[in-house]
Amino acid sequence: MEEDYVSDVHYVVRAELPGIDPEKDLEMTVSRGVLTIRARRQEEAEGKRGPEFRYGDLTRTVTLPEGIDGLEVLW
């Protein structure tokens, strides 16, 4: 889930990415007025019957307002 809004001097996009390590599993790019968020989740846990794997890819795009041409990431 993501939300976007304009603050005093920033255009803010917030995204919930459960199970994602932003340092390793997240890539964000801005090109031609579109923000693209890509993430990959890979988890392995020991279950009652042996290892359980949870994995998947996520891609979201957000069309940015006119004049936005950069990206500043804040965690």
pLDDT in tens, 29-73: 888 888 899 998 877 777 778 777 777 888 989 888 887 766 676
Domain boundaries, the chain: 2-63
Pick 8 or 30 by higher pLDDT.
30
Residue 71 CB-half CA count within 13 A: 16
Helix H segments across 13-72? Answer: 22-25
pLDDT of residue 2: 59
What pTM, to 2 d.p., does this model score?
A: 0.69
Of the candidates 47, 18, 13, 15, the one whose C-alpha atom is nearest the C-alpha of residue 30 is 13
Amino acid at 55: Y
Q: Do the Cβ atoms of 37 and 28 come closer than 8 Å?
A: yes
